[in-house]
Structure 1
């Protein structure tokens, strides 16, 4: 059982997935900080100093925190758009790597080259006949 687990855990796909999850979590925290610490204060200034997280509706003892929900939805769209741009950039870099210039196929000789080749061949033939 240990050998099977080790074989599974050390497969390339599992390691790639683990690395992706770790990098994704780190990237997510960076984007969350961008949203909470930079973008949302600017949005708050633009809409008159409103803090979405504090918006709520109270009915009796029940509190509906719709502002926190709106904040989470905005966070989601910003994070997903950021990840989209990141993946798009990576794909563009991969495409450039794949599109390395291919060696050009030799083109057909021009008429000048054909004439020069004929002259060369005639001179070789004449040199052989003279010997």
Structure 2
């Protein structure tokens, strides 16, 4: 039991857990924003073309069963919007990481070239000393 608690403590104290918690909170807030955008802007716009302002009221009734297609369409629109924004964020992060990796590789290459230059200079000096003897 103690090792379990120790593992749990290590897990909680990692930075990635905190990052994940921040992501969940921001994601929840963004979901509310996307829901508002769909309900207040996109639905009325689509409603102009469909002749019905509130898509969430589109219901197919069969017997006592109500199939709420409008609510499902709202959820699909929200999902697509959220995934698109996440895609853009991940793409930007990946681009920043690749730029960072390129600069690290260039720095390593510069260090290697500098080391090679020093070694070549040492070799040339040793050759000169050997020839002068």
Give the TM interval when normalised to the shorter protein: 0.5 to 0.7
Per-residue CA deviations over 1:49-77 (Å, capped at 9, x if unaligned) read 44221111112222121221222122212
1:31–1:70 CA distance, 2 compared to 1 (3 A): closer
2:75 paired residue number = 72
Per-residue CA deviations over 1:74-112 (Å, capped at 9, x if unaligned) read 221222122212222333334344444957779xxxxxx
TM-score w.r.t. the length of structure 2 is 0.60
Name the one with the larger helix percent.
2
Per-residue CA deviations over 1:4-33 (Å, capped at 9, x if unaligned) read 432221122222222222222222222222
| Higher-Rg member (1/2) | 1
- Matched length: 106
TM-score w.r.t. the length of structure 1 is 0.61
Give the unaligned 5+ runs of structure 2: 115-133
What do you get for the CA RMSD once the two structures are aligned? 2.8
Describe how 1:1-131 pairs up with structure 2 within 5 A.
1=2, 2-100=5-103, 102=106
1:92–1:33 CA distance, 2 compared to 1 (3 A): farther
Give the unaligned 5+ runs of structure 1: 107-131
